[in-house]
Copies of this chain bind each other. A is one copy, B any other.
């Protein structure tokens, strides 16, 4: 248990310690505008309030909360990025309001409870990284009754798509297996060892790598060939760890007129900033990571390709189910099983990993 945590921390946090990586997030205009607007269009909700920023990174959200009028902001960050955050806070003359605390939010201590928790915890397809867990721990420990979560709500979507990547990945996979055949022949001839007993294991490894790993893609809206389905809704104020440990949903995905091929599915998410039930935001801000021409984000979409692709006819409905669980060896990565059928056809199950 303790060892698992050490390994997890070593793996998970290392990229966040680099300004280069924080800059990538800070350069995501869609992300930045959504959080900026969520704070400043509701500035009066921040005035005089105590705020906790879970995972402050560079400190950006904490500084905005202070600029919007918060009385006190606790900005918690596990990595050494905390040192840069403290510097940034001071340079922007907010060190009388923002206190940067280096540590994991699960373990740090605050001198008081807070009115608002703000956090940018979303990973690929919302839940990758499982950072929401930390936000929920912080909420249950430090948020005052009646307090607000920023963002307040999150949703996950799944849609049928078309893509050339399916054929691509299949070709890469086949090339890799051909290469294995040459390799085993050569190892036998040149070095007297027959490797062919490992061929099935190698195939499994390559299938997993090329065909069962979801892909990061920034899709064009025109690649979405059917109605997206809502597969999960989260109220950040009330959701529990159990609610997000496994996500399962049935879906109906009517395919648009004239579309004949479904290469697979794309998953994305949105979050909304609506304040709290007792203090609703005046203006709801939404951050969506749906396929877009101009408003793309660094999250892109997660694509789950089917091998072979589906052939559909006008007005066919692709229906089925999705089950997303945490990978057994790393709780920050995800295993996904998508079952699908067309109309009354037989159901097919496909397994994927979000790496």
The residues of A with any CB-CB pair to B shorter than 8 Å are 2-7, 9-11, 18-20, 23, 26-27, 29, 32, 36, 58, 60, 63-64, 67, 84, 87-88, 90-92, 180, 183, 187, 190-198, 201-202, 205-206, 209
Q: A11-B10, A11-B11, A19-B205 are in contact. Are A190 and B91 (CB under 8 A)?
A: no
Q: Is the CB of A20 within 8 A of B206?
A: yes
Looking at chain A's contact residues, the main secondary structure is helix
Q: Is the CB of A195 within 8 A of B18?
A: no
- Complex CA–CA separation, A84 to B200 (angstroms): 11
Contacts of A197 in B (CB 8 A): 87-88, 90-91
Contacts of A205 in B (CB 8 A): 18-20
| Stoichiometry (number of copies) | 2
- Complex CA–CA separation, A345 to B193 (angstroms): 56
- Complex CA–CA separation, A222 to B6 (angstroms): 46
- Complex CA–CA separation, A79 to B88 (angstroms): 43
Contacts of A36 in B (CB 8 A): 191
- Complex CA–CA separation, A26 to B197 (angstroms): 15
- Complex CA–CA separation, A202 to B22 (angstroms): 11
Of chain B, the residue at the smallest CB distance from A11 is B10
Selected contact of A183 from candidates B27, B60, B183, B187, CB within 8 Å: B27
Q: How far is the CB of A108 from chain B (nearest CB, A)?
A: 19
Q: Is the CB of B193 within 8 A of A88?
A: yes
Inter-chain pairs besides A3-B3, A29-B190, A60-B193, 11 sampled, C-beta below 8 Å: A18-B205, A19-B198, A19-B201, A19-B202, A23-B202, A36-B191, A60-B191, A64-B191, A88-B198, A90-B197, A91-B197
